[in-house]
Amino acid sequence: MKTTINQVSKYVDQEVTIGVWLANKRSSGKIAFLQLRDGTGFMQGVVVKADVTEETFTHAKSLTQETSMYITGKIVEDARSPFGYEMQVKSIEVIDEAKDYPITPKEHGTEFLMDHRHLWLRSKKQHAIMKIRNQIIQATYQFFAQEGFTKIDPPILTGSAAEGTTELFHTKYFEEEAYLSQSGQLYMEAAAMALGKVFSFGPTFRAEKSKTRRHLIEFWMIEPEMAFTTHDESLEIQENYVQFLVESVLSHCQLELNTLERSLERLEKIKAPFPRITYDKAIELLKEKGYTDIEWGEDLGAPHETAIAESFDKPVFITHYPTNIKAFYMKPDPNRDNVVLCADLIAPEGYGEIIGGSSRIDDLELLEQRYKEHNLSDEAYNWYLELRKYGSVPHAGFGLGLERTVAWICGVDHVRETIPFPRLLNRLYP
Ligand code: 4AD
């Protein structure tokens, strides 16, 4: 019977064959312990000298790391192993013998591992992170489907910028100039006027010269946009969505969370509603904590976000930022026009901002005024203005950065480990 590691619980006390790679091994005189992986999981194979032919035992002891093979044996329950099962190996059929695999069980430096990302992905920790990333993507589709959203795919090649022009990747588009998308938001607003509640999930490109543990040049963003929706209603959707993601990982990825030694107790606390503080209050809090390097009107940096997050054990919304440090499309607070109806959601434990969102300006005249203030060309944005001419409605939306969310839920320090092939300031390979 051919099966996979994640299915072995169905075959206790039966003999099965699994296609595997050898992740690691150790042996004593009479027993060889093979750490096997097949992509679906990791499992130990035990080769007992007395139970196999002399040839099989010698062979098992000489297997090299990452050799691929079909391995056959009986599945047994084993309470001592984190996986709960192991294989009593009977025979081994090598497919390809790997020679001098560069990533050995010893410690390697980050640059070395990054140079070998195509192989590093095979390690147990990286496998766990990719599985959790996958679970978050699955849960995203599930959540928005059950909330009545339609998935919409905005273009990747664009003519207009959503988040300011400094971070754009330029490319030739025949005779014209185009940019790689830095947010699908403007298109999602058009889609929301057609389909009500929509969300996108796609690659996002930012030529940010930031070399921090939270910045990627290419990352993936989930961008919901909702017609007839207020700022507060949008915050409610956001906290329910984030709670749903965490619950989904907790219920489907126990093994992976254990591999990453993630504190379950901290994740179990992530229940809506999340605390909300205004930008004004955030500045006050920072002053109380002794930060003298920030004044009202300036954007918060990573250390400020971390300091604020320390006061809470759930993600915290910082709302109502000053108008002049936020994007042109954000709607002013009707009671106070020097701040906008926006919120950043800051993850706990220093993982930084995972969501940025706002209510959008729905008044034609005000939007036209903002175009002038921001020197935006009418031509490139004319279609966006038209959304305010034909049945404009209050609407809001947000963007969740997938990699930062994965980093937080996994408890991984740097976003470079949360995407299969990270694009960083100094890295385009592999
Ligand atoms: O706050 P941002 O820039 O928001 C927007 O792009 C809006 N147009 C979204 C919307 O309202 N539809 O980015 C949203 C999120 C951030 O909170 C962060 O999680 C992530 O995207 N992000 C990055 N992640 C990794 N590397 C980077 N360089 C990132 N820049 C933003």
Q: Are residue 134 and residue 174 in the same domain, yes or no?
A: yes
Do 74 and 161 belong together in one domain? no
219 C-alpha to ligand 1 centroid (Å): 9
The ligand 1 atom nearest the CA atom of 223 = 12
Q: Look at ligand 1, atom 11, and give the residue with the nearest C-alpha.
A: 398
- Say yes or no: CB of residue 162 within 6 Å of ligand 1: yes
**Ligand 1 near 323 CB (within 6 A):** no
Answer positive or negative: Cα dihedral of 246, 252, 258, 264. Answer: positive
pLDDT at 29: 87
Whole-number Å distance between alpha carbons of 77 and 80: 9
CB 329 within 8 A of CB 360: yes
Looking at the fold, whether 51 and 144 belong to one and the same domain comes out as: no
Pairing of strands 218-227, 395-401: antiparallel
SS3 255: helix
- The answer to whether residues 70 and 131 belong to one domain is no
Cis check: omega of the bond before 273, within 30 degrees of 0: yes
352 Cβ below 6 A of ligand 1: no
Task: Name the one residue in this structure whose structure tokens are 């006061």.
Answer: 311
* Cβ 355 under 6 angstroms from ligand 1: yes
Q: 313 in a domain, yes or no?
A: yes
Q: Is residue 13 part of a domain?
A: yes
Residue found under tokens 């250390």:
303
Q: Is the CB of 163 under 6 A from ligand 1?
A: yes
Of 210, 219, 231, the one to substitute when testing ligand 1's pocket (max ligand atoms within 8 A of C-beta) is: 219
Residue 341: count other Cβ atoms within 10 Å of its Cβ.
Answer: 24
> Of 324, 336, 384, 390, which is closest to residue 360 (Cα–Cα)?
384
In a domain, 112, yes or no: no
Q: 15-27 and 31-37 as β-strands: parallel, antiparallel, unpaired?
A: antiparallel
- Look at strands 157-158 and 170-173 and give their pairing: unpaired
Residue range(s) defining the domain that contains residue 13: 2-96
Closest ligand 1 atom to 216 CA = 26
Question: 55 C-alpha to center of ligand 1: Å?
Answer: 57
Q: What is the pLDDT along the chain (430 residues), one digit of tens a residue?
A: 999 999 999 999 999 999 999 999 999 889 999 999 999 999 999 999 999 999 999 999 999 999 999 999 999 999 888 889 999 999 999 999 999 999 998 899 999 999 999 999 999 999 999 999 999 999 999 999 999 999 999 999 998 777 777 789 999 999 999 999 999 999 999 999 999 999 999 999 999 998 899 999 999 999 999 999 999 999 999 999 999 999 999 999 999 999 999 999 999 999 999 999 999 999 999 999 999 999 999 999 999 999 999 999 999 999 999 999 999 999 999 999 899 999 999 999 999 999 999 999 999 999 999 999 988 877 778 999 999 999 999 999 999 999 999 999 999 999 999 999 999 999 999 9
What is the CATH classification number for the domain harbouring 231? 3.30.930.10
Measured between its terminal Cα atoms, the distance across the chain in Å is: 37
- What's the maximum distance between 2 C-alpha atoms anywhere in the chain? 85
Residue 353: CB within 6 Å of ligand 1? Answer: yes
Atom of ligand 1 minimally distant from the CA of 221: 21
Could you tell me the distance, in angstroms and rounded to a whole number, from the CA of residue 353 to the centre of ligand 1? 8
Instruction: State in Å: Cα 222 to ligand 1 middle.
Output: 9
CA distance 376 to 328: 9
Residues 26 and 132 in one domain: no
Alpha-carbon span 110 to 211, nearest angstrom: 15
Same domain, 233 and 124: yes
Determine which residue's CA is closest to atom 4 belonging to ligand 1.
Answer: 356
Determine, yes or no, domain membership for 413. Answer: yes
Q: Looking at the domain assignment, is residue 105 inside a domain?
A: no
**Residue 74 carries which side chain, given as an amino acid letter?**
K
Q: Is residue 423 part of a domain?
A: no
**Do both 259 and 121 map to the same domain?**
yes
Q: Does residue 324 lie in a domain region?
A: yes
Q: Is 338 helix (H, G, I), strand (E, B) or coil?
A: strand
Q: Please tell me the predicted confidence (pLDDT) of residue 210.
A: 86
Ligand 1: does its nearest atom lie under 6 Å from the Cβ of 216? yes
What are the Cα distances from residue 52, in Å, to 46, 169, 288? Answer: 11, 60, 70
- Would residue 425 count as lying in a domain? no
Taking residue 29's Cβ as centre, other Cβ atoms within 10 Å add up to: 7
Please tell me whether the peptide bond between 420 and the residue prior to it is cis, using omega within 30 degrees of 0: no
Ligand 1 centroid from CA 403, angstroms: 10
Paired tokens of 43:
């499992």
- Is ligand 1 within 6 A of the CB of residue 357? yes
Q: How far apart are CA 160 and CA 342, in angstroms?
A: 22
Number of domains in the chain: 2
Residues 402 and 356 sit within 8 Å (Cβ to Cβ): no
Distance CA 170, CA 94 (A): 49
**CA 34 to ligand 1 center in whole angstroms:** 43
- ipTM over 0.95 threshold: yes
Same domain, 77 and 149: no
Give phi and psi for 342, each to the nearest 5: -140, 170
For residues 201 and 326, state if they share a domain.
yes
Residue that is last in its domain, among 61, 96, 131? 96
pLDDT for res 155: 97
Cβ(240)–Cβ(123) under 8 Å? no
CA of 430 to the centre of ligand 1 (A): 24
Atom of ligand 1 nearest to the CA of 225: 12
Same domain, 267 and 137: yes
Q: Which atom of ligand 1 is nearest to the CA of 353?
A: 17
Q: Are residues 43 and 127 in the same domain?
A: no
pLDDT in the model for residue 323: 97
CATH number of the domain within which 64 lies: 2.40.50.140
Which protein residue's CA is at the shortest distance from atom 17 of ligand 1?
Answer: 355
Same domain for 81 and 170, yes or no, is no
How many A from CA of 356 to the centre of ligand 1? 6
Tokens of 281: 């209050």
What CA–CA distance (Å, rounded) separates 18 from 70?
A: 6
